[in-house]
Structure 1
């Protein structure tokens, strides 16, 4: 009997399977070419979804049917850049052919002769590189600066219409992982067919159907002929006085293997370490939620002058930068980014500062001569699987960063020396796995592990401030030692329910942070006896922080609207103790940090955004240590307060305007934040030392920011122009020498720029930035300060005869502060370059700082403090270089 029932069941199952006939078809564009990844949905007469699928690379689709009674049902085919097409089903056995027409978002190429053109399809805007490049341009970075809507900052950071790019892809691959400066500097513009701006960039394939991303990315589309061979360049340069500049770069961009490998060294003031800048690291660090101090000790240097780094930096540096990506198949790749930086820097300056307080002025003068030796070894290995049904990303990172600084000081006419040694070791692994189920729902597993060691030693000879640190007696030296090992992990699982245009995501996880702060401040007496300064200069602090969290996120998207609501709930527990300072406290807090964001397309190319968030934050271990730490030669820091708690309301809005065919881009951004804290930093200032202690006192900080920017290509003048204005205001309080002073700071900044082609053989660029800063203490007869600065830069590029190029540039800086004389500087440079085509070599001779300026004065203004500094900078430098291109 059982065998008979089982046989019947098998027969019925077989008949059921046989009865399931797939509905087949093909989706094409107007030219008859199949379209990949088109969403094809079968709906009944009431509009309910029966089943759906996506077309394959040939445009074909199959939709499984549970029964054949579907006459009158509708097939809907939709894809970004095309109009939605609806077809009525009349016959299950029929192969349906659907032809999609381009939607209104497709902008036709401008065909006017000798005019650059842009094309747009869906979320992607295409700049043809050749339309913006000139004969003098070398790298793609030179051309990006000329593209309307795209802005490249001095540090290499790229923004599009006011928004920072999230990634720079090379032929669709993330080769450089946010450290994209080496790409923009090295890739020849002649190898790039077009630059694509991808709005709403979503690198995870399975998430593109219900894409909630608001990121903007750039993709460099490499020409087919440039993919067939390795290319690069080698530079050899020498100059006076005693200058050298060497560079070797090799790159390859084929389907299987991509790499940009570079080795360079110079002593001409160009920092090779700028190639290692991760432009979006701060956003990434916030997601990790591992708030460990970067370093507690410093040399107290005065910073750097308000000049481009190449004008003030004395260096001798070398960098090995290896970036390699191998694709096993279109969905699986392995990437290795390995770099080592070695640098020696010299810095010399004089500084004088005044701090204005009710009834007194604190004055401080110093001279520093610094020898700085930063090093950084970093190895990152990333395995990435990115398919329609799964996403896997494992990121292993090892960093070792020894840093040493020697300083000769004269502090208020007292000579001293200091030596700072820091050795940071950081090891982490980040694992992320997503899986799409048959129901289209997505499960996500995430785990992050990290260990950091941060030993630091600061030695100062002779012992300073004996009245505070040695009962008024002279002594030999001070030594501050710190160790701060950190263990951290963050883990969660999430599940996303996907239904049409609506996605619900529910997350649950935990993180744990364990730290130990061991520090002691030693003094060595004249008889060579070493001892702690006092019992109050020792820390043996154990810190343990855990967080259990859940988060519900609701997201909706359609053709015009994207909206998201996030409701994270967390239970936070912190326990810290220090037997040496009789300290043992714990904290338990339950937080909900809601956020909301909205994006609405007012037209095909324009959109408005709005966002709101409320966030509770807790401080870290640097808020609670009780033993005094000598942060630098004149700063003693400690705490006498509970853990800092802050509550922040943040609200923002924006409008992005674009007319791509007219090459007009504009954006307007506004943001307001209001933060309340339960602690404040109290400073006790004298002419020789500053002491800071964190106290339990409510503190309120308010910030407002408003900015408008525009960029336009002027076809008749063959020029790209840009302009912008911004206004910022901050209200906060400072507690100095027992005086609580509320301050209001306002800054208005203006900028204009132009990249112009004056003729077939002359190009001209100009940029100006002007800022006005006002500070005022909001009390009767309050302190007022005003600061104005203008910076202008201009360059002229001339083609004199065939393949001979002349570049002339100048920079003007003007600074005005009411209590100080005006500061005016003009720097000028000249460069002559000949392209020896037969030998594929550029011969270049250049002179920087023609006027031979060797001292630079600068003014810094903040709240009630004015600082003037004099920096020794490199004078005139002449260089002869040869660059061979292959």
Structure 2
């Protein structure tokens, strides 16, 4: 243990090579109280600035010197309301206590008109909501889009200066647990006093002293008057042809009880399931380390057009979404998030695809009409105790998600029908307890338990590909059955030693994953006899994966530097057996996956980051089954390889720049990864079916990405502008029809946008995205494809007369591919709204898709394939709505 600690101290010494000697002190007033935010400047004998900083809330400051040459150096301390103080530096080891004398300062009178308010305090940035809101804005989500540095994606995901937020708090409470879309859509902007951006967000109180978090969160500070009553709205809408849109929302935000409860239904192409998106769910799954496959079967690769979902979705959907939080006291709370979604969708498309291989081209022509019925019932109960001395979090989740798809399709002039039924049940409990000891050290106990069942059935009639599946004889149909139950648990205990700015954490634990894959492919002959297709289409696979692991983590924090080193060591044992397919294998692997991250504060507002990690991964049950599975009507998949292994090197760096008072935000990021794989998917393609088998073959995937983004508020124009550019490159190999082809894919993307207030009664927004994608096979006379797409969106919001608002919007898409004709589309919408103040009601009439476009063509490029699709989309829709606000 002593050797390990010594090693870590040496690593920290290496980190601080560039920090050199610290110069420390404290600034006080005449009464001896520390003075916050005093400007402290270090100058040499010629008056050149060597370094500068500001005092913290206790008046303490610290600066670094690159050498010991301090002859003639002086410290200057200045702050409004105090006389400037100059002190000569005589000894680096000395603690400089500076006492400022108060003074009266006469400032020149400055009149600031219509200047938005933005204040910064420590790691928190405060946007005053009223300064960015307009008369036409309804929810806080409408206002967030106008705040410089904040970006809201089409799916509702929020980012701040290029980094996705980890949480959206409502008055400091995590009411919505990452599913925050309902909050941004429903909370009236008039109820929010300010929006706080919390950098280095650490929700666990006991961990804030030595905070290594790099998360960013938003907090909506609710006005006092809005906490006194239940707020909400009720919408009733009807339209043509045969459209409806209904919504009821109620919310309360007082100290003891917070809730946002909503019920809605519509058939206007607005997906209520968007309110249930967990924006950071993929990161959460990685942390759990429970790599179970989602669904093994599908109805084909229909895809969706490159349009906002509201323009192509045929739906009839309803959602009940209940989010309630009760606080027993300041440190203990109980939260319940319960939802049920029911949806009926229609999808019609025609698709033509070509795959280019040496000496041949594989073609598919498909037509499909789908009726899709997704449902999801989810209940989550969370008990959270969060105090200075302990942290308790228990999360119980129950989820049931039946999914049915019925479709008729034609592939290369052969017609058939199919029905897919999937039924997932998921039950999990996550327990986390931390306790701070008298020594300031922390013990942590963690346990996660999960049970999942996911049966699937795919029926296809009549039987297809008789030459492969029925000895060349016609037959009535196919039925693919799959069951994949999973038990999983992950448990660990950790102990953190805390000493000043240095924290050592040692963890030990284990996880176990037990699965069974049972699958059978049956055919029904013309005489109604049902039989297995062959013995090679049956799986009875038992899978057991256990992992014992330890991890040592070393973290250092100071005013300018945060550094963390993690050294996880794991022993992995996997056994999988299937007597039907003569399979009985064991695997034992010892892995070490080190990671290093550094964050250096170059100034009060700006910082640079760097990170590196190496990761070994093993595949799952989806990689080892031997019996063939009919994935969809034209795809047969199986494996003939041991468990897939991968080794990944990932390195990244970034620079975040901010001038909060000037409302200027910018960021630059770079990431590179190199993944070595032990297996490859080999495809055998024909004009009727594709067969995939996983084979042992070492290959690499190398990826590089660069991005730069900026956002600025233009005070004179009362506008927020943003711009960005990104570059992504990926190099990989594909094995198709016995041809191993290396590919290089590059994409360059540009974006610009503006949210402008042209006059007191006209607002204008514009956004443009332009992307260029090049694909090339890295062989002689290799295939090259080029794809360009420009997407432009613009909107005008006009106040015509008092309380009468007109909105006009348009969207233009241009797609260009070298061997195809250009695709051009222009969509337009109009909306008029009258605010009936006396009745607290909005009367709204709107028309979407004014140009009545009813079909949309799309082009997709990937490696050596080109796919063109034609999708049926809703035409012109007119809606009349009334929304009562309470």
If the length of structure 2 is used for normalisation, what is the TM-score? 0.88
* Aligned equivalents of 1:719, 1:366: Cα separation in 2: 48
Q: CA deviation at 1:815?
A: 0.2
Q: Where does residue 282 of structure 1 map in the other structure?
A: 282
**5 Å matches for 1:79-228?**
112-228=112-228
Q: What secondary structure, in the 3-state scheme, does the structure 1 residue paired with 2:259 have?
A: strand
Are residues 493 and 29 of structure 1, via their aligned partners in 2, closer, same or farther at CA, if it must alter by over 3 Å? farther
Q: CA deviation at 1:301?
A: 3.5
Q: Where does residue 723 of structure 2 map in the other structure?
A: 723
Q: Where does residue 382 of structure 2 map in the other structure?
A: 382
- Contact 2:448/2:490, CA 8 A, preserved across alignment: yes
Deviations 1:765-803 (A, max 9, x none): 000000000000000000000000000000000000000
Deviations 1:457-497 (A, max 9, x none): 00000000000000000000000000000000000000000
Q: CA deviation at 1:117?
A: 1.8
Q: CA deviation at 1:333?
A: 0.1
- Contact 1:149/1:665, CA 8 A, preserved across alignment: yes
Are residues 394 and 726 of structure 1, via their aligned partners in 2, closer, same or farther at CA, if it must alter by over 3 Å? same
Q: Where does residue 477 of structure 1 map in the other structure?
A: 477
**Residue 512 (structure 2) pairs with residue 499 (structure 1):** no
* Aligned equivalents of 1:493, 1:100: Cα separation in 2: 50
**Residue 532 (structure 2) pairs with residue 532 (structure 1):** yes
Query: Over aligned residue pairs, what C-alpha RMSD do you find?
Result: 2.3
Moved beyond 4 Å, runs of 4+:
27-32, 98-102
**Residue 609 (structure 2) pairs with residue 609 (structure 1):** yes
* Aligned equivalents of 1:506, 1:111: Cα separation in 2: 57
Q: Where does residue 801 of structure 2 map in the other structure?
A: 801
* Aligned equivalents of 1:112, 1:333: Cα separation in 2: 43
Q: Where does residue 680 of structure 2 map in the other structure?
A: 680
Deviations 1:367-420 (A, max 9, x none): 000000000000000000000000000000000000000000011111100000
Are residues 600 and 837 of structure 1, via their aligned partners in 2, closer, same or farther at CA, if it must alter by over 3 Å? same
* Aligned equivalents of 2:301, 2:209: Cα separation in 1: 52
Deviations 1:725-772 (A, max 9, x none): 000000000000000000000000000000000000000000000000
Q: Where does residue 412 of structure 2 map in the other structure?
A: 412
* Aligned equivalents of 1:101, 1:436: Cα separation in 2: 41
* Aligned equivalents of 2:667, 2:822: Cα separation in 1: 35
Q: What secondary structure, in the 3-state scheme, does the structure 1 residue paired with 2:571 have?
A: strand
Q: What secondary structure, in the 3-state scheme, does the structure 2 residue paired with 1:468 have?
A: helix
Q: CA deviation at 1:112?
A: 2.1
Deviations 1:317-355 (A, max 9, x none): 000000000000000000000000000000000000000
Q: What secondary structure, in the 3-state scheme, does the structure 1 residue paired with 2:141 have?
A: helix
- Contact 2:30/2:99, CA 8 A, preserved across alignment: no
Q: What secondary structure, in the 3-state scheme, does the structure 2 residue paired with 1:588 have?
A: strand
Q: CA deviation at 1:30?
A: 9.0
Q: What secondary structure, in the 3-state scheme, does the structure 2 residue paired with 1:141 have?
A: helix
Q: Where does residue 595 of structure 1 map in the other structure?
A: 595
- Contact 1:440/1:498, CA 8 A, preserved across alignment: yes
Q: Which runs of 5+ in 1 are unaligned?
A: 1-26, 38-58, 60-82, 84-97, 103-109
- Contact 2:380/2:397, CA 8 A, preserved across alignment: yes
Q: CA deviation at 1:111?
A: 7.2
Deviations 1:658-692 (A, max 9, x none): 00000000000000000001100000001110000
Are residues 704 and 31 of structure 1, via their aligned partners in 2, closer, same or farther at CA, if it must alter by over 3 Å? farther
Q: Which runs of 5+ in 2 are unaligned?
A: 1-25, 37-57, 59-81, 83-97, 103-109
Q: Where does residue 745 of structure 2 map in the other structure?
A: 745
Q: What secondary structure, in the 3-state scheme, does the structure 2 residue paired with 1:696 have?
A: strand
**Residue 321 (structure 2) pairs with residue 321 (structure 1):** yes
- Contact 1:111/1:117, CA 8 A, preserved across alignment: no
* Aligned equivalents of 1:246, 1:632: Cα separation in 2: 37
Q: CA deviation at 1:699?
A: 1.2
- Contact 2:30/2:101, CA 8 A, preserved across alignment: no
Q: What secondary structure, in the 3-state scheme, does the structure 1 residue paired with 2:273 have?
A: helix
* Aligned equivalents of 2:318, 2:365: Cα separation in 1: 35
Q: Where does residue 67 of structure 1 map in the other structure?
A: none
Q: What secondary structure, in the 3-state scheme, does the structure 2 residue paired with 1:643 have?
A: coil
Q: Where does residue 305 of structure 2 map in the other structure?
A: 305
* Aligned equivalents of 2:208, 2:458: Cα separation in 1: 52
**5 Å matches for 1:228-239?**
228-239=228-239
**5 Å matches for 1:4-83?**
none
Are residues 111 and 661 of structure 1, via their aligned partners in 2, closer, same or farther at CA, if it must alter by over 3 Å? farther
If the length of structure 1 is used for normalisation, what is the TM-score? 0.88
* Aligned equivalents of 2:395, 2:28: Cα separation in 1: 39
Q: Where does residue 359 of structure 1 map in the other structure?
A: 359
Q: Where does residue 705 of structure 2 map in the other structure?
A: 705
**Residue 880 (structure 2) pairs with residue 880 (structure 1):** yes
**5 Å matches for 1:262-661?**
262-661=262-661
* Aligned equivalents of 1:295, 1:825: Cα separation in 2: 35
Q: Where does residue 253 of structure 2 map in the other structure?
A: 253
* Aligned equivalents of 2:224, 2:256: Cα separation in 1: 14
* Aligned equivalents of 2:147, 2:112: Cα separation in 1: 18
Q: CA deviation at 1:113?
A: 1.7
